[in-house]
């Protein structure tokens, strides 16, 4: 974009992804207001153009200005991107709802589901604000790779073409390509549920099980979470797009993925509490695993791999015990999940 076309964009959340998004919007030619919670963080961003807590070693575009005042963001920006942890999104949206008008565009860049309600992030934005034009941004977007200037792609999903078109116009650059999708349910669920697969893949890595095991976890895991999403109203094709397969490839293999690191460290014998305590940023897949199991029970969908991850995370079941149970489950047809007879499966490995 040219300087003449600059528009104010608001980003709520100064973590690694929120800061990266603010940087991207500024790089694309926009003036950006970045809402953060801590005064020292705002001062650092505004004076040094860095965010050393979440993105050490990187410079932030000078057209990003940090503020502690959410009302300032709401009054100045007609497009606001929300990038806070899923557990605090409703609280943030409630506060935002005090300031926004109904004509503004809100985009969620958070990947998660709300416990108890199973609400997606765009559901919460609609419930807590008067804004109707909402969307979801998702895809294989590892913050550090983008800050390094490596090319990436993302998808904006919305029922409103204006949200997709404005989103693409204001974000697209030589660093990031933007696609559109009208299947908000599919894009949001794909973005949230793939974090479970990243934990499963990390477990296989931590256990030293090799690429075959990782491929098994990822592929069959993707099949089961896509069944859950379809039961919730998603288009299955969205799981073959950037928010599904695209994000799975990135987060299930990269050491930059927090969820993959959680699984890997669990496989290596660490305790979940110790892992989470050591992390600066949130691994959304931990909470999502629990919510997904509750959601699956409500919708009557079987999630064997997700259930195994759940047992490891919340019941401290040994990872190898979970793997062994997965391997001797009754054999099924790959496409529809119907059983293959006979049911007996040898439990001894080949010699």
Convert the pLDDT of each residue in 183-207 to its tens digit.
Answer: 999 999 999 999 999 999 999 999 9
Mean pLDDT, the chain, integer: 94
Establish if 348 belongs to a structural domain.
Answer: no
Give the model's pLDDT for residue 345.
Answer: 60
Task: State the Cα–Cα distance between residues 53 and 281, nearest whole angstrom.
Answer: 10
Establish if 338 belongs to a structural domain.
Answer: no
Distances (CA, A) of 265 to 12, 169, 269, 277: 31, 40, 6, 13
Question: Do residue 208 and residue 148 come from a single domain?
Answer: no
Tell me what percent of the residues of the chain surpass a pLDDT of 90: 87
Q: How many domains does the chain have?
A: 2
Residue 320, number of CB atoms within 10 A of its CB: 12
Q: What do you get for the CA distance between the two ends of the chain, in Å?
A: 63
Question: Do residue 106 and residue 7 come from a single domain?
Answer: yes
Establish if 333 belongs to a structural domain.
Answer: no
Question: Do residue 177 and residue 206 come from a single domain?
Answer: no
Establish if 335 belongs to a structural domain.
Answer: no
CATH of the domain at 110: 3.40.50.720
Task: State the Cα–Cα distance between residues 28 and 140, nearest whole angstrom.
Answer: 19
Which structural domain range is residue 251 located in? 188-327
Please identify which of the residues 111, 133, 194, 264 carries the catalytic annotation: 194
Question: Do residue 64 and residue 178 come from a single domain?
Answer: yes
Give the model's pLDDT for residue 348.
Answer: 65
Question: Do residue 161 and residue 106 come from a single domain?
Answer: yes
Look at the pTM and tell me if it is higher than 0.95: no
Question: Do residue 251 and residue 266 come from a single domain?
Answer: yes
* Two tokens, residue 79: 């497009």
Indicate the pLDDT class of residue 1, thresholds 50, 70 and 90: very low
Question: Do residue 176 and residue 195 come from a single domain?
Answer: no
> By the 8 A CB rule, do 52 and 93 touch?
no
Mean pLDDT of 27-39: 97
Task: State the Cα–Cα distance between residues 268 and 261, nearest whole angstrom.
Answer: 10
Q: What is the pLDDT of residues 248-288, one digit of tens each?
A: 999 998 888 999 999 999 999 999 999 999 988 778 889 99
Question: Do residue 166 and residue 254 come from a single domain?
Answer: no
Question: Do residue 138 and residue 228 come from a single domain?
Answer: no
Beta bridge partners, 79, equal 9, 105
Give the model's pLDDT for residue 283.
Answer: 86
Question: Do residue 78 and residue 31 come from a single domain?
Answer: yes
Establish if 342 belongs to a structural domain.
Answer: no
> By the 8 A CB rule, do 222 and 197 touch?
yes
Q: What is the pLDDT of residues 130-145, one digit of tens each?
A: 999 999 999 999 999 9
In the residue annotation, 194 being an active-site residue is answered as yes
Q: What is the pLDDT of residues 212-258, one digit of tens each?
A: 999 999 999 999 999 999 999 999 999 999 999 999 999 998 888 99
Q: Report the range of poorest mean pLDDT among 17-21, 119-123, 329-333.
A: 329-333
Establish if 291 belongs to a structural domain.
Answer: yes
Question: Do residue 150 and residue 255 come from a single domain?
Answer: no
Indicate the pLDDT class of residue 351, thresholds 50, 70 and 90: low
Give the model's pLDDT for residue 4.
Answer: 36
- Give the CA dihedral 149, 262, 91, 69, nearest 10 degrees: -40
> By the 8 A CB rule, do 184 and 161 touch?
no
Cβ-count burial of 225 within 10 angstroms (0-12 exposed, 13-18 middle, 19+ buried)?
Answer: buried
Q: What is the pLDDT of residues 163-180, one digit of tens each?
A: 999 999 999 999 999 999
Question: Do residue 127 and residue 17 come from a single domain?
Answer: yes
């Amino acid at each position: 974009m040219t300087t003449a076309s600059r528009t104010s964009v608001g980003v709520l959340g100064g973590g690694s992804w929120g800061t990266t998004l603010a940087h991207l919007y500024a790089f694309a030619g926009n003036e950006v207001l970045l809402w953060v919670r801590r005064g020292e963080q705002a001062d650092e961003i505004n004076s040094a153009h860095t965010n050393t807590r979440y993105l050490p070693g990187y410079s932030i575009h000078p057209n990003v200005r940090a503020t502690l005042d959410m009302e300032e963001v709401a009054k100045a920006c007609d497009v606001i991107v929300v990038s806070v942890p899923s557990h605090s999104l409703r609280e943030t949206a409630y506060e935002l709802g005090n300031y926004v008008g109904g004509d503004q565009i809100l985009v969620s860049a958070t990947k998660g589901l709300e416990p108890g309600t199973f609400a997606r992030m765009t559901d919460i934005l609609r419930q807590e604000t008067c804004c109707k034009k909402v969307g979801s941004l998702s895809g294989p977007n590892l913050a550090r790779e983008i800050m390094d200037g490596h090319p990436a792609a993302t998808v904006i999903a919305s029922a409103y073409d204006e949200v997709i078109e404005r989103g693409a116009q204001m974000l697209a650059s030589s660093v990031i390509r933007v696609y559109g999708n009208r299947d908000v349910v599919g894009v949001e669920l794909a973005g949230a549920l793939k974090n479970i697969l990243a934990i499963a893949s990390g477990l296989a890595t931590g256990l030293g099980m090799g690429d075959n095991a990782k491929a098994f976890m990822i592929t069959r895991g993707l099949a089961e979470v896509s069944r859950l999403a379809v039961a919730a109203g998603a288009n299955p094709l969205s799981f073959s797009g950037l928010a599904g397969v695209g994000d799975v490839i990135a987060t299930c293999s990269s050491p930059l993925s927090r969820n993959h690191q959680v699984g890997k460290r669990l496989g290596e014998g660490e305790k979940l509490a110790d892992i989470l305590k050591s992390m600066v940023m949130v691994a959304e897949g931990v909470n999502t695993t629990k919510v997904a199991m509750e959601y699956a029970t409500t919708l009557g969908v079987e999630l064997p791999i997700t259930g195994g991850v759940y047992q490891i995370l919340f019941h401290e079941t040994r990872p190898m015990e979970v793997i062994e149970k997965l391997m001797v489950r009754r054999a099924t047809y790959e496409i529809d999940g119907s059983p293959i007879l006979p049911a007996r499966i040898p439990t001894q490995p080949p010699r």
